[in-house]
């Protein structure tokens, strides 16, 4: 049975267009302006990240520190919520809280990368508080951290494999019996992966075929070139995470696959 998270806006199955940190050609990543722009372009799937402040405020932000993309500095875990939300992304947009994101975009499906252990409890509490189990996918590079969030939830949510399980499937997948693979990936619905990791190719026709054989999906990040989008869609991937949602939309429209 397909989880609601993986259905498109019209309730159909098909390749998903996931807006990477929203959509902003001006570099205002993970801002409310970027999230609104993604939804206005027509997607419901938004990829984003969460960190937690020193006073347990869950904020939407990629880096552990404010330095790279805001007019402020310091590690989020060592700052108060007020200090973090007063920072401006690109000197313009405030750092959103998770509650603000959910309230502003009630119909959005959120792909949530839990970036630190401090966010495990607040993330689970926020999902429960808003009752958005069917609208979220929980992921993390750490399978332990991802599972820690899942264990705190009262209802099932979609989830993608962390680095350890992904590496296991990449290297042992060709010889792993399907029944054993299903058991190892019992709490995983999708692999969200780059095309390559260092010198190792991750996404191949064989990788996709093996994932589909055990009823797991494949989403690929972060794809910003038309030719690569088309190649991956031809291979049969189930979703593309992109900074260029505008371009991905055009590609899917031309393939009669944008809804």
Residues carrying an active site annotation: 20, 62
Tokens found for residue 248: 């991905």
- The alpha-helical segments, DSSP class H, found in 93-204 are 98-104, 120-130, 143-151, 163-172, 178-184
Please answer whether residues 57 and 97 qualify as being in contact, where contact means their C-beta atoms are separated by less than 8 angstroms: yes
Phi, psi of 160 (to 5 degrees): -115, 155
User: Which residues are bridge partners to 65 per DSSP?
Assistant: 75
Q: 106 with 35: CB under 8 angstroms?
A: no
Distance, CA of 94 to CA of 110 (rounded, Å)? 19
| Beta carbons of 35 and 24 less than 8 angstroms apart | no
Tell me the C-alpha to C-alpha distance, in Å, between residue 222 and each of 17, 239, 243.
11, 11, 7
Could you give the count of Cα atoms lying within 13 Å of 138 in the half-sphere of its Cβ? 30
d(CA 122, CA 105) in angstroms, rounded, equals 19
SS3 256: coil
Nearest 5°: phi and psi at 201? -80, 130
Q: Judging by beta carbons within 10 Å of its beta carbon (0-12, 13-18, 19+), is residue 177 exposed, middle or buried? A: exposed
């Amino acid at each position: 049975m397909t989880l609601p998270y993986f259905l498109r806006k019209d309730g159909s199955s098909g390749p998903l267009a996931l807006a990477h940190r929203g959509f902003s050609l001006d570099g205002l990543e993970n801002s409310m302006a970027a999230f609104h722009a993604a939804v206005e372009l027509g997607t419901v799937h938004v990829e984003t990240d969460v960190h937690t402040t020193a006073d347990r405020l869950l904020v939407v932000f990629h880096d552990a520190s404010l330095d790279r993309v805001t007019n402020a500095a310091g590690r989020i875990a060592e700052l108060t919520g007020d200090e973090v939300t007063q920072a401006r992304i690109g000197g313009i947009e405030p750092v959103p809280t998770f509650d603000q994101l959910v309230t502003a975009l009630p119909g959005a499906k959120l792909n949530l990368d839990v970036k630190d252990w401090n966010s495990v409890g607040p993330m689970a509490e926020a999902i429960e508080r808003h009752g958005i189990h069917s609208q979220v996918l929980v992921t993390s590079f750490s399978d332990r951290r991802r599972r820690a969030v899942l264990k705190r939830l009262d209802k099932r949510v979609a989830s993608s494999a962390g680095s350890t399980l992904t590496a296991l499937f990449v290297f042992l997948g060709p010889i792993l019996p399907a029944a054993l693979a299903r058991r190892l990936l019992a709490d995983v619905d999708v692999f969200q992966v780059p095309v390559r990791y260092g010198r190792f190719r991750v996404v191949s026709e064989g990788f996709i075929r093996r994932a589909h054989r055990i009823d797991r999906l494949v989403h690929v990040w972060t794809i910003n070139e038309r030719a690569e989008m088309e190649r991956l869609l031809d291979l049969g991937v189930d979703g593309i995470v992109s900074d260029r949602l505008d371009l991905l939309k055009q590609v899917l429209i031309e393939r009669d696959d944008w809804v």
